[in-house]
Amino acid sequence: METIDFGPATTAVAALVRGVRDDQLAEPTPCPAFTVADLLDHLSMLADAFARSARKERLPGDGAPVVDGSRLPEDWRTEIATRLAALADAWRDPAAYTGTTQAGPIEMPAEVAALVALDEVVVHGWDLARATGQPYEPDVRSVLASLAFAESFQVPPDVPGGGPFGPPVAVPADAPALDRLVGATGRDPSWKP
């Protein structure tokens, strides 16, 4: 597999993180169980976890994610941006794409873990932008790679929960790729706080 340049996606999301105001931390997001603070905590954890995946390092503990926005450190803007940059750097190594790796508690082919990581960054960037009213224009390559990954899950309607992203939201086939991506990952592209 060709390496993925995470740099444009992680840079765009880091800019969003730096643009979050303190008074927005308790606000809702398109992820129903997450406040903005929870989403930031999740972004921090996933950036660290998937950087470790690229380096074939195991997470401490059982690797199961626990999201808690109340544990954000004082310098969360800097810390999350640093972790996102480290994520991009880790996936620049062609060895990151070989063999299998852990993504949290799940073992998977490393090249699949890269796509999961990219999808997480791009989609949660959209979540954060929508929740905080910031503009978000991720790079086209990242969006298209994430869209192909999300659409690769052909989930029958009778599957409880709708597959790995929840039930997809119907979006017109001629809608922008980012709208189709968020719809494929169970989000309404017209969501507003």
More confident residue, 155 or 11: 11
CATH code, domain with 31: 1.20.120.450
Task: Give mean pLDDT, residues 172-182.
Answer: 96
Report yes or no on 46 lying in a domain. yes
Report yes or no on 136 lying in a domain. yes
pLDDT digits (tens, 9 = 90+) for 101-137: 988 788 999 999 999 999 999 999 999 999 999 999 9
3-state secondary structure of 36: helix
pLDDT digits (tens, 9 = 90+) for 79-88: 999 999 999 9
Decide if pLDDT at 66 tops 90.
no
Into how many domains does the chain fold?
1
Percent pLDDT > 90 in the chain is: 78
171-178, long-range: CB within 8 Å, 24+ apart, which pairs? 177/140, 177/143, 177/144, 177/147, 178/126, 178/138, 178/143
Report yes or no on 89 lying in a domain. yes
Report yes or no on 1 lying in a domain. no
Report yes or no on 90 lying in a domain. yes
Report yes or no on 86 lying in a domain. yes
